[in-house]
Amino acid sequence: MSRTIFVIVTLGTSIVAVVLGFLISKSIFNHDQSELPLESGDTAETKLSNQETDDNKLTLPEIESQAQLDTRFDRELTLHNLLVNANVRDLSLYLSQSEKLKSQNFLRESQDKIIQRWSVVDPVSALKVVMEYFSEERQSFLIPLVFREWSRLNLSEAIKHAQGLDEYLMDAVVDTIVISREDLPVAQRRDIARNLDREWRVIELLRKEGYNSVFEAPAKEWSTFIRKHQGELQHLSNSQLRIMGYIVRSWVTQEGVKVITQVREELPRAISLLTTTEFVSRELVKTQPATAFELVISAAGIDHHRGYLDLAIELIEVWASTNFTDAINATLAIKAKSFRWELQKSALRAAAQEDVDRLLNDLDSLPEHLRVRAHAQALVEIAKTSPKSISERWRDIHEIEERERVVDAIVRGWAKKDVAEVFQWIENTLELPLSRHKLKETVFRELVVSNWQLAFQTALSLPRNIDGAGWEGTVVKWLANWNSDIAESLLVKVRSGPGRIDAFDGVIFNAIKDKDFQRALEVFLRLCELEEHADQSLYLMPLAYTVPDLVFASIDKIASARARVKVAHRLLYRYADSDVFTTDEIERLKQIKNSDVN
């Protein structure tokens, strides 16, 4: 009898518990979540905030304010004890309380731990709360936190829900799941990322964990990948291209550069290996530069593409900056003479930039045909920072082409430091390998970019050349290429003669290039007011041919008789037999063309 009563009581208690659980759950999930403010600064009152906690539980504001909890450890322990057994109802209440916290640090800490616990209790509703009520900045931290716990509880459901996330969240979520499930085999962790189109990320993560052989059978993986994507190899996504690169990298690491032949054979001929080779070689160059360089040279031999030459130069520069001797020795095996020379020049340049003194000290150890180039490259590098110190050392370079390079570098470096000194050096130094005019031009080219005001004032201070042109005209013409407005404002200060025509031409050219033909014409008309020989403008003809109607409408405004006659001649030459001008207009052009301009 007592046994029967016990069973009845137990059964009744279970039924009551189930009913109460259902009612509580229904009450919670029917609750209007939109009334639950989660971010600091939101002062809206909520129904949940009016609920009272159990008498033996502290509220979050109480935890924050309790004086005895004066250490971070105490506060974290209290918070842990508060949340460790909390259900969804409790967590909703605590989340509501968190809005009343004064400390931003404690607010974030509390919300993080609440969401973490919520993810264990009910990850679906935890994700919903985070997505609906937190800012994107907070989501980027909290959503991975949700999926970390979720993937431990139910991996398949976590992956299913992750597939609906925005792209900006996907990388962090994949990383979190893969890292948190380190208990799984490598193949299964790759499958997780593959299902979320992020397989390349898991490869990078696993490598950081020390898994050097993520692909145990890269040859098989390569064949499988090519067959699977046979019809879309020309339109692969960035993720797929990275996977290709990682497979080949693993294959090369395991079996050597010779595998590139098999890699090429399994690809359709129309598909280049360049992108994959770029990825693999850049991955290898810092740790295995010789392998990276050999890979590029081998690929270039079977997959002809100009891009391999550029890639090889890029790699040799990286290699030479850390091990110049090995890099140079590697270039000696290149059969193509011109390509070998380009690689060697690049290696020398990188070595000089890395340690110019070491390069100078190692000159005698270099192959004889490289010593002059290396010496010159070292001086070019010194000229960038200390041009005056090598103002006579260029004479030590006996090959004329290399000597010219060094002198040009001296002038460029010196122009940035002391314009007066460099001009004095140009004027007074004998036997320079470049003309003084050429070197002065180099000075002004450097100054126009670095200090156009100084360039213009310096040019005005110099005498005109034998043709009557001042350097300021050239300065304004170059300046117009990157700031036409400033150049135009300087036109009135340019001295008359060929230099002024050059300056105006610079502004006219850029206006035509920008298809601002009205501005081009207006600048040309101003030139004609200042220069009778405006007919020497290089852009008179292009302007007349491009917008003949606009030019004809202003022909009587052309103050220079010589320019006016030349414009009429050009318009007649191009359009006399067309319908661009009326009969009367053609007659007017003929009158102007035949007028006396002497």
At 397-436, the pLDDT tens digits run: 999 999 999 999 999 999 999 999 999 999 999 999 999 9
> Can you tell me the mean pLDDT for 201-215?
77
What is the average pLDDT score of the chain?
88
pLDDT over threshold 70, residue 37 = no
On whether the CB atoms of residues 289 and 280 are closer than 8 A, the answer is: no
Report CA torsion sign: 406, 408, 414, 419: positive
Q: Are the C-beta atoms of residues 287 and 207 closer than 8 Å to each other?
A: no
- Poorest-confidence range of 198-207, 219-228, 262-271? 198-207
pLDDT score, position 70: 64
Q: List Cβ neighbours of 244 (8 Å cut-off, separation of 6 or more).
A: 222, 225, 236, 275, 276, 279
Query: Per-residue b/e over 153-171, b at no fewer than 16 CB within 10 Å?
Result: eebeebbebbeebeeebbe
Q: Which candidate, 388, 383, 385, 351, places its Cα nearest to that of 370?
A: 351
Q: Specify the DSSP class assigned to residue 463.
A: P
Which tens digit of pLDDT belongs to each residue from 551-570? 999 999 999 999 999 999 99
Cβ-based burial of 7 (10 A; exposed 0-12, middle 13-18, buried ≥19): exposed
Q: What is the longest distance spanned by two Cα atoms in the chain?
A: 139
pLDDT 10s digits, 86-145: 999 999 999 999 999 998 999 999 999 999 999 999 999 999 999 999 999 999 999 999
